[in-house]
Every structure is written in C-alpha cells, then in structure tokens.
Amino acid sequence: MPSRTTSEFTLDPPEAERLANLSGPFDGHLRMIELRLGVEIANRGNIFRIVGPEVAVGKAESLLRDLWNDAANETLGEPAIHLRLAEAEADRVVDEDIESQEVAIRVKRGTIRGRGSNQAKYLHAIAINDINFGIGPAGTGKTFLAVASAVEALNDGRVQRLILVRPAVEAGEKLGFLPGDLTQKVDPYLRPLYDALYEMLGVEKVVKLLEKNVIEIAPLAYMRGRTLNDAFVILDEAQNTSIEQMKMFLTRIGFGSTAVVTGDMTQIDLPKHQKSGLKDALEVLRGVDGISFTFFESRDVVRHPLVAKIVNAYDARDAKDADTGQAP
C-alpha cells in the first residue's frame, strides 16, 4: 500500500461565493475528487487539508488550485470537474496507487454497502468511472448494486434520468408469437429491472417517474441513434448482445453520463456461431482508462446459500469437459 501524506494550503483570496462554486452543492465537487483520486479533503473556509497517497495528494492539490482559478470566472458543474480530472490523468493514479474506498449508497430501503471486497470494489468503480463492467454468476449483486447506484445518482441530482436496458430476444420475429403490443411483448424480459427499482424507490414513485420518462426501461434495439447525456445507463444481461450491439451501446454515452454493463459469461443464449459482445468487449477494452472491470465469483453470491453451491457444481462440471450431459 502506498505511503500516505498530508498537504495543507490556502486558496486566496478568500471569497465565499467562489468557495461555494468550487465545492459544489453539498460539497459534491469535492466528493467527486475524493472518490476519483482516493484522498480525503477537509476545509475550513479557504484553508484546505488533503490526506492520502503522496501521488494522489499532489494531483488533488494541483487540481483544486486550477479549479479555484476557474471558479473566479465561470460556474463550475460536474462536467467541468470531470474534464479537469481527465486532464489530470486521475484514472491512472487510481489504478496504480489507490485502494478502493467504501461507498455507502442511500436509498429508500436504507443504506447499502458492498458485501465483501468485490462488491466494495464494484461500487467504488461505478463512483469514479464513466463506463463499468460487472461480470459474474447470478446472485452476486451486479444489477442490484448498479440500480442502487443509479437511484442515488438520480436522487442527488447528479443525473437527470435513468435508462435501464436489456437485450430482449435473439430474433425479432419471436416477439410476434407473444400477445399484446410491443411494450407488452418485451416487458417480461425487463421485469428484473422493474423489481430492483421497486425495491429501491417503491412502486408508486417508480410508476410516476416512468410516466415522466425520468426512468426509461427499454430493449437494447431502442438505443440505436441516440446520445445519452446526464443519464445513468445500465445494460443488463450483456452476454446476450452481439459485437455490433455492444459497440452501439457503448458509443451512446454522452457528457455527464455513467454506464454499467452487467453479464454472466456462463449463460450466453446466442447461437453457437455468434460471439458475445460482452466477451469481445473484455478483449478489446481491457486497459482503457476510464473503463473499469469487476469480476465476481461464486463466493460473492448473496442469494440463498445453495446458489453458490449450484454455481460451483456447474463450474466443476464444465472444467472437466464432461460429455455426459448430466450435472454432478
């Protein structure tokens, strides 16, 4: 673990309005910098104290001084903070030097924290990166924690809307055999996302937000041609996307947006000859700054204890390349 250091400095001249501009609503800008750089920032007026790994503290002090100069002439918003962090190569500092901080999410049901190191890492990654992948077996909290992060971002005003997306089926013609209009046809495929929202916000509020289009739940095909600014976007069951669909989705992301992609590589329902867009993205995007990957294992399962045992049993069978067609 990198050595920790402390820096104390004063931002002059002392101006209350400029300080409020720098700090953001409820110190939101300072919190962004803390999470992104892995430091702790405290201040009494224009006197600041930063604690953390030496490299990150230096980055944070330099960034605050630059933002202080900017705050004299412009109103700072989250996009401005985000761009300054990108210029400071904040992602490189986090990847090399910083341990994950605990992130507590406040929603209707109470405070949600990660259970175990992988969930804690996942929440921290979502807080500091624009695009995040959560990959692992069922029951590890991939979608639940992503929806919780999205709801908190909406409640805090960090995004203007939530967009939850799923690939519906492999072939569009199969929808024709289902009753109802298009919304009713794809609704069963999106039901798990509704369930997570109901638990976070309550049914009544979810219905109101859906009516106002603050929350949008849609099949992946609806994303083509759109640019999503100031939104929290979740792509669930991403193992069933094609390479083209995954590329299309990832290039929809605009300024002020966060995207989370979740999937389970052991439950691909695509035709045998078709490569999963999620698998392809893992190969292409690993190592790209600003994109995080969190890999869950059976030990991260938070459902019924038998779920972890089931996952392990199937993994063991697959590892042996058994050709009997029977589970152990």
- Listed in sequence order, the residues at least 6 apart from 70 whose beta carbon sits closer than 8 Å to its beta carbon are 76, 80, 84
The structural architecture, per CATH, of the domain 105-296 is 3-Layer(aba) Sandwich (3.40)
- C-alpha span between 69 and 199 (Å, rounded): 43
Say which CATH class 4-97 falls into.
alpha beta
pLDDT by position in tens, the chain (length 328): 556 889 999 999 889 999 999 999 888 899 888 877 888 899 999 999 999 888 889 999 999 999 999 999 899 987 778 777 777 665 545 444 444 556 667 766 667 777 777 888 899 889 888 899 999 888 888 988 999 999 988 988 889 999 988 886 543 435 455 555 555 555 666 777 888 888 888 889 999 999 999 998 888 888 888 888 899 999 999 999 999 999 999 998 888 889 999 999 888 888 888 899 999 999 999 888 889 999 988 777 766 567 667 877 887 887 775 555 554 4
How far, in Å, are 42, 52, 98, 111, 143 from residue 6 at the CA level? Answer: 11, 7, 15, 30, 37
Which pTM value belongs to this model?
0.66
Segment 46-70, tens digit of pLDDT: 999 999 888 889 999 999 999 999 9
Give the per-residue pLDDT at 170: 43
Characterize the bridge pairing of strands 4-10 and 47-53: antiparallel
Segment 207-247, tens digit of pLDDT: 999 999 999 888 888 888 888 889 999 999 999 999 999 99
Q: Tell me, yes or no, if the two domains 4-97 and 105-296 fold the same way.
A: no
Give the per-residue pLDDT at 18: 94
Residue boundaries of the structural domains of the chain: 4-97, 105-296
Report how far Cα 65 is from the mean position of its chain's Cα atoms: 29
Segment 294-316, tens digit of pLDDT: 998 877 776 656 766 787 788 78
